[in-house]
Chain A
Amino acid sequence: MRRWVLVAACSIALSGCAVPHARDDTRPAKTAAQEAEITQVFQRYREVRASAVELLDPKPLSTVETGAMLQIDSGSFEVAQRLATKGQDATGPVEVVDVETPRFGKYPLWFYAVVRDAAQDVKRVQIFERASSVDPWLLTASPETLADTALPDLRHRGGAAVTVAPDDGVGLSMSAQEAAAAYAAVLSDPEAPESGEVADDSFIQQMRSTATTNAALPDVRFSQTWQAEDVRYALRTADGGALAFVTLTREDTYAVKEGLTVTWPEGSPQQAFLSSGIAGSGRLTYNHQVLLYLPGGTEKPRALGQYGGVVSGDTSAAPAR
């Protein structure tokens, strides 16, 4: 009897494996990237960045970074070039502690990764994006948090991280795009109506302190503006909230009384862009990538981390009146 059962089981197993079957769902869908591909993306990024740091040249970075991320890093490389220093070196050993790959029905594809940099005692929360089927994977966002900052757990469906449309505010105090706009408004003006809608976090306090210091310069009219770009990356958190990557553009404008010059300390990024200082009027442009957490429910959005720097500086001879 056992012999017959064995024969039957083997025959069924042989005839049953990989049987052609109709698929119920033929809608286009693709997991952003597979593990092997992600490993290659990280490896290539590290190699190119190491090469750029070695050459003190930001040009190779354009093959692995894009957008505000490339602008910020190019700015830091420019600072390093002008100051003839190695600058910020993020080529040390890092540990990829988490990778989340959403599913998409069309391009662009992107995935989320958390990288721990023990040397700098930070975590980088990164987004790699493939804009089209013919483009390579590029790093588009990399806000940094303290190493011990707890990141919210993400929600999954079918093994893939769940994304949130930037204008979807269901279950949240506001949508990710509205939160970005409110955050920029509060940074521009502490008395803005939106000040009650976002948390007064450490990033806002730090930026406000810097603005206050600059505004206190005698015979200098200082103004600071913030603009939020369109939110492109947002993930649903397990608590029903959202984790949004917000890019903010900050412009510091200086109008200096005739006969005076505003200068910055040696070795500072501002000094690298405006080496002779500002006589008359001048402007420094910054990009900041902020990791904004919108808790589920009615809690206020707050920043968990940021990465930013000077991306350009220009002066005009016209003196302030």
Chain B
Amino acid sequence: MAMRTTAGWALVVLGVLVALAGGAAMVVLGPDSRFTTGPHAIETDDIAVVTAPDVIGWADVQVDLLAEVPVRKPIFVGIGNAVDVQDFVGRTQRLEVTGFQRPWDVDTREAGGTPNLPGAPTALDWWIDSSAGLGGASISTQLPDETISIAILSVGSSNLSGLEVTLAYGVKGGFGKGAAALLLGLGLVVLGLAVRRARPWDEEEPDDEDAVVLAAAEVEEEVVYVYVDDDGVEHEISAEEAAELQEVVEVVEVVEVEEVVEVAEPGPRPEVEPAGPADEDAAAEAEEEVVYVYVDDEGVEHEVNEDELAEFEIVDEEDRP
């Protein structure tokens, strides 16, 4: 009993914690499952802004990035494996983001190089996600489980002066997952309460859904032998005593020891098979053969057949003197 109570309380506490966590996730992330910050201005006249390989150390985070530049300058935003991105911009003058703290606190450094990119970023096939546009470009992707860099690049002869960045990050389907955690927590609470109030498991009755499929219970018949004395009083006696008395007085009762509770899935029904020849022989043997006997005046018995019976008076053996 004490163990059940402890387990019930543990489930309740766990359920409350899980429910609170799920609810908190729903509140923080909101229905769009993400946290948004920006737009934030980034001061640079370079043609590339790139995150260093060790800045983004998370995986499976949903990231939405919007980069905007004034006067409809062409701009490119891409996310790729750090090996690819660093090789692409490694010899280009750029602003490198060397640190990032939420919600928006970035560390940067200037990296020297040529004032142009080695090729058009839109022509490359290794971007995990990329987008280009006039005046702005955005990507929306889930961070892969590999070291990655994000690059904001100027396309053509312009630069990134006037760059503003809006960042959103969260968990894809996070609101739904929070709701799932909330439901799970509530379920645990209900389960914990149920465990506390439940009867001991060894007394638990099987409910409908957990019904055990019962086989047809066998009905055992018990024969009760009764002796009725001269005063009409019944006395129960054993079979052995009845045999000694050589007299079965009466079968007074057939007791059903166990009733059939339920047969959820009846088993194969036994088939009734016609009795074979052996059974017929046994039945024939069971019939008592009648022998007619004529007793003459001297007391000698003579066997007669049925046709001769009309000549004699029939006297039952029990009626014989």
A-side residues, CB < 8 A to B, are: 1-4, 7-8, 11-12, 14-15, 18-23, 25-30, 37, 104-107, 109, 132-134
Q: Please indicate the chain B residues that have their CB under 8 angstroms from the CB of A104 in the complex.
A: 83
Q: How far is the CA of A21 from the CA of B209 in the complex (A)?
A: 40
Q: Known contacts A2-B209, A14-B177, A15-B181; is A8 also within 8 Å of B59 by CB?
A: no
Whether A19 pairs with B126 at a CB distance below 8 angstroms is: no
- Restricting to B181-230, which residues have a CB under 8 Å from any CB of A? 181, 183-184, 187-188, 191, 209-210
Whether A20 pairs with B187 at a CB distance below 8 angstroms is: no
Whether B180 pairs with A14 at a CB distance below 8 angstroms is: yes
Q: Please indicate the chain A residues that have their CB under 8 angstroms from the CB of B146 in the complex.
A: 29-30
25 pairs across A/B with beta carbons < 8 Å? A4-B187, A4-B191, A11-B183, A11-B184, A15-B178, A15-B181, A18-B171, A20-B61, A20-B171, A21-B60, A22-B58, A23-B58, A23-B147, A26-B54, A26-B56, A27-B147, A28-B53, A28-B81, A28-B82, A28-B147, A30-B83, A106-B87, A107-B83, A132-B118, A133-B84
Kindly state whether residue B22 has any CB partner on chain A within 8 Å: yes
Q: Please indicate the chain A residues that have their CB under 8 angstroms from the CB of B53 in the complex.
A: 26-28
Whether A23 pairs with B171 at a CB distance below 8 angstroms is: no
Whether B147 pairs with A8 at a CB distance below 8 angstroms is: no
* A17 to chain B: closest residue by CB: B177
Q: Please indicate the chain B residues that have their CB under 8 angstroms from the CB of A27 in the complex.
A: 53, 147
The interface bits of chain B over 52-93 (1 if a CB of A lies within 8 angstroms of the residue's CB, else 0) are 011011111100000000000000000001111111100000
Q: Please indicate the chain A residues that have their CB under 8 angstroms from the CB of B210 in the complex.
A: 1-2
Q: Please indicate the chain B residues that have their CB under 8 angstroms from the CB of A106 in the complex.
A: 83, 86-87
Whether B177 pairs with A15 at a CB distance below 8 angstroms is: yes
The interface bits of chain B over 36-64 (1 if a CB of A lies within 8 angstroms of the residue's CB, else 0) are 00000000000000000110111111000
Q: Known contacts A1-B210, A18-B142, A27-B53; is A133 also within 8 Å of B87 by CB?
A: yes
* A14 to chain B: closest residue by CB: B180
Q: How far is the CA of A228 from the CA of B65 in the complex (A)?
A: 50
CB distance from B113 to the nearest CB of A (A): 14
* A28 to chain B: closest residue by CB: B82
CB distance from B171 to the nearest CB of A (A): 6
Kindly state whether residue B145 has any CB partner on chain A within 8 Å: yes
Q: Please indicate the chain B residues that have their CB under 8 angstroms from the CB of A105 in the complex.
A: 83
Kindly state whether residue B232 has any CB partner on chain A within 8 Å: no
Whether A21 pairs with B184 at a CB distance below 8 angstroms is: no
Q: Please indicate the chain A residues that have their CB under 8 angstroms from the CB of B124 in the complex.
A: 133-134
